[in-house]
């Protein structure tokens, strides 16, 4: 199977700090891939390079066969890459509905420019409600985003990503701030999403990682330390020493 995403020798330095070092990475279509590792391992920098938030110092990024290394972030969104942030980036003074509508409107402009205004309005409403319902926050659609709990803001951001109809959905610590029940619902949602999009997630909750991931990539000191199926990673001594022992104690 041809990879959906490939990075070749991807690196990013900030002054003397090598946040990401010479990373070769492949992600297959329809996969749920988890990225784990200790704080400061380079995980968020890596996905920020993939989505175009920051530029690489060296290396290349290929998405669906095309080199996107020099594409700005908004053009990557148009190609089907959606990213939710480690820290929520919702528009606090807009309602949950309006936040998601911004994403749906972007998708409609890109895909249905010739659609009549009435039909576009109906499609907008359907798209917003579908995303809100799938993430379990439709009942909060009229609430200002800034008034939502942190966990619901996280889910709202996932809804905004889903509304873009991405081919690759990148989630940075999506379960942070969620209750146990919300985490269980998120696991089901992520599995559902993988039927229509590839999922790449950074996650510290190892129960979520082990329940969801087809494969796991472990970062340490800006490099890939190990990759493999969940059981392979669980039994990897180097991973245990670098991360899993600490994660289990947390």
CB atoms near residue 143 (< 10 Å): 15
Instruction: Give the C-alpha separation, 144 to 98, whole Å.
Output: 9
Do 74 and 174 reside in the same domain of the chain? Answer: yes
Whether residue 190 lies inside any domain: the answer is: yes
Whether residue 102 lies inside any domain: the answer is: yes
Cβ atoms of 194 and 140 closer than 8 Å? no
DSSP of 47-61, one letter per residue? HHHHHTSS--SEEEE
Whether residue 246 lies inside any domain: the answer is: no
Cβ atoms of 12 and 19 closer than 8 Å? yes
Instruction: Give the C-alpha separation, 152 to 163, whole Å.
Output: 16
Do 75 and 145 reside in the same domain of the chain? Answer: no
Do 23 and 97 reside in the same domain of the chain? Answer: no
Do 28 and 150 reside in the same domain of the chain? Answer: no
9 lies in which domain range?
1-80+167-223
Spell out the per-residue pLDDT of the chain, length 250, in tens.
Answer: 899 999 999 999 998 899 999 999 999 999 999 999 999 999 999 999 999 999 999 999 999 999 999 999 999 999 999 998 655 678 999 999 999 999 898 777 766 555 677 788 888 999 999 999 999 999 999 999 999 998 899 899 999 999 999 999 999 999 988 899 999 999 999 999 999 999 999 999 999 999 999 999 999 999 999 999 999 999 999 999 988 765 544 4
**Angle at the Cα of 214 from the Cα atoms of 223 and 28, rounded to 5 degrees:** 75
pLDDT, residue 110, reads 61
pLDDT, residue 16, reads 86
Domains: count for the chain: 2
- Joined together, the tokens standing for residue 126 give 């359907």
Whether residue 160 lies inside any domain: the answer is: yes
Dihedral of CA atoms 19, 20, 21, 25 in degrees, nearest 10, equals: 170
Do 99 and 148 reside in the same domain of the chain? Answer: yes
Do 15 and 137 reside in the same domain of the chain? Answer: no
CB atoms near residue 203 (< 10 Å): 22
Whether residue 231 lies inside any domain: the answer is: no
pLDDT, residue 250, reads 40
Instruction: Give the C-alpha separation, 26 to 20, whole Å.
Output: 16
Do 2 and 76 reside in the same domain of the chain? Answer: yes
- Joined together, the tokens standing for residue 30 give 């329809």
Cβ atoms of 66 and 167 closer than 8 Å? no
pLDDT, residue 160, reads 93
pLDDT, residue 64, reads 96
pLDDT, residue 114, reads 54
Which of 125, 140, 165 is the last residue in one of the domains? 165
- Joined together, the tokens standing for residue 146 give 């800034």
pLDDT, residue 193, reads 92
Instruction: Give the C-alpha separation, 33 to 75, whole Å.
Output: 23
């Amino acid at each position: 199977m041809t990879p959906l995403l490939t990075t070749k020798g991807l690196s990013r330095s900030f002054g003397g700090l090598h946040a990401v070092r010479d990373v070769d990475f492949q992600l297959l279509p329809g996969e749920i891939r988890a990225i784990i590792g200790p704080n400061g391992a380079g995980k968020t920098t890596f996905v920020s390079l993939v989505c175009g938030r920051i530029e690489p110092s060296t290396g290349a990024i290929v998405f669906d066969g095309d080199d996107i290394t020099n594409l700005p972030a908004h053009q990557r969104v148009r190609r089907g890459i959606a990213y939710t942030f480690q820290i929520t980036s919702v528009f606090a003074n807009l309602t949950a509905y309006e936040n998601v509508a911004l994403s749906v409107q972007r998708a409609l402009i890109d895909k249905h420019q010739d659609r009549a205004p009435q039909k576009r309005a109906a499609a907008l409403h359907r798209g917003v409600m579908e995303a809100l319902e799938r993430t379990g926050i439709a009942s909060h659609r009229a609430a200002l985003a800034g008034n939502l709990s942190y966990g619901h803001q996280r889910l709202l951001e996932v809804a905004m990503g889903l509304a873009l109809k991405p081919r690759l959905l990148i989630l940075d610590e999506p379960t942070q701030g969620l209750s146990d029940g919300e985490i269980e619902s998120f696991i089901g949602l992520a599995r559902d999403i993988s039927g229509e999009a590839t999922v790449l997630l950074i996650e510290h909750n190892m129960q979520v990682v082990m329940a969801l991931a087809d494969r796991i990539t472990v970062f340490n000191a800006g490099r890939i330390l190990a990759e493999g199926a969940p059981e392979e990673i669980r039994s990897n001594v180097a991973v245990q020493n670098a991360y899993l022992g600490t994660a289990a104690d947390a």
